[in-house]
Structure 1
Amino acid sequence: MSAPSPKNFEPKAPVQLDPPKDDPISLDELKVADGSYEGRPVYVAIKGTVFDVSSNRSSYGPGGSYHVFAGKDASRALAKSSVKPEDAIAKWDDLGDKEKEVLGDWYTYFSKRYNIVGRVVGSNP
């Protein structure tokens, strides 16, 4: 099973997004934002930018098709269109140009649908 292609960037229904935040988010904070903890948001990071995907908990929460991305920087998995847990890591700088382009597409896709709530501490912009 592979992740869908993000070629259509515009959401089907308009999304009202908050201004992006640049709050520092530690790896520990990110890890517990995987949908497993009642009352906590669900976050997915891409290239160090943290998106709040709580509005799509059914997909990113426990049992969801994309839960593997939740609470992690899923850059490599998204670039490779993979839902393998071992690919859901922040390392993406060694990928080929095509995979980096796919990752950029995913960043654009997420940025049009989900609020940016911060940046993973220690990540490179």
Structure 2
Amino acid sequence: MSFAHRTRPSPLVLPPPVGNINQNLAEISLPVYTYADLRAARHEDQYENGERILVGLKDYIFNVSPLKEFMGPAGQLSNYPWRDISFALVKSSNLPEDTAVQGYNNFSQNDSKALEEWTATFLLRFTVVGRKSRVDTA
């Protein structure tokens, strides 16, 4: 019997919380991204030109450029940028097939709680630049 081996990334070192970085989030009109839009936002020269690095987490699109060391081409989480990382982050996985999972509807109660905690953590540390579409055609 063989078991699929899930690689677990080293602990993600997040920047400290930034005041009220998303304080007016409900009042701001943000662009809506589908999974396809998020993937299309990637550019080959993204890292070299200092452009922003985006990820989807729960209902939001975050600019995680401060994590370039982890999410850049040589980083241990290089599969995360320009994807919905809800599933992979909750499962502590950096496998390509886990970053390919879209959405978070079939989570257990514990996984849902972990997703809420990760989302709250990201809301304190990274700028929300968009919202994820609730209906996606990806």
- TM-score interval, normalised by the smaller of the two chains: 0.7 to 0.9
Question: Alignment partner of 2:61: what SS?
Answer: strand
2:3 matched to which residue of 1? none
- Residue aligned with 1:67, SS: coil
1:10-32 C-alpha deviation (Å, 9 max, x unpaired): x54x5252543521224344114
1:37 paired residue among 45, 60, 68: 45
Contiguous gaps of at least 5 residues in structure 1: none
Residues 57, 32 of structure 1: CA spacing in aligned structure 2 closer, same or farther, 3 A cutoff?
Answer: farther
Report the alpha carbon displacement of residue 33 of structure 1 after superposing the two structures with TM. Answer: 4.2
Quote the RMSD (CA, aligned, Å).
2.7
Structure-2 residue corresponding to 1:76: 87
Query: Are residues 96 and 26 of structure 1, via their aligned partners in 2, closer, same or farther at CA, if it must alter by over 3 Å?
Result: closer
Shift of 1:103: 1.1
Equivalent residue, structure 2, for 1:113: 125
In the alignment of these two chains, the number of paired residues is: 120
Give 5+ residue unaligned stretches, structure 2.
1-6
- Residue in 2 aligned with 1:102? 114
Distance in 2, matches of 1:3 and 1:111, equals 21
Given that 1:45 and 1:75 are in contact with CA atoms closer than 8 Å, whether structure 2 keeps it comes out as yes
Contact 1:48–1:123, Cα closer than 8 Å, also in 2: no
Q: Distance in 1 between matches of 2:78 and 2:42?
A: 7
Query: 2:120 and 2:10 mapped to 1: Cα distance?
Result: 14
**Cα deviation 1:53-107 (Å, max 9, x = unaligned):** 0122111121112222110011111121211111112232112111111111111
